[in-house]
Structure 1
Amino acid sequence: MTQLQKYIWLIDTIRRAGKISLEEISSRWERNKDLSDYKPLSRTTFNRWKDAIFSQFGIIISCQRSGGYLYYIENPEDIDEDELKKWMLDSFAISNLIGENLSLKDRIIVNQIPSAQSHLATLLEAMQGNRVVLITYCGFNKKRSYTFPVEPYCVKLFENRWYLLAHNVSYNKIRIYGLDRIESLELTDNTFKLPKDFSASGFFS
Structure 2
Amino acid sequence: MTPADGDRLATWLEDLGLAAHLGEAGLPTFTRDPSGLAVWTEPDRLDELDRLLHSVGSEPEHAVPVGLVVLARQARLRTELLASPWFTYDTLAEVRGASVDATRYAVHKAAQTHRLLVVPVEERTIVPAFQLLPDGELRPDLAPVLEPLLAARMDPWRAWAWLTQPAALTLGQAPERAVTDPDLTDLVLHAAVRLAETLSRDSTSRQDR
Normalised TM-score (structure 1): 0.27
Taking CA–CA contacts closer than 8 Å with sequence separation of 6 or more, which of the two structures ends up with the larger relative contact order?
A: 1
TM (normalized to structure 2)? 0.27
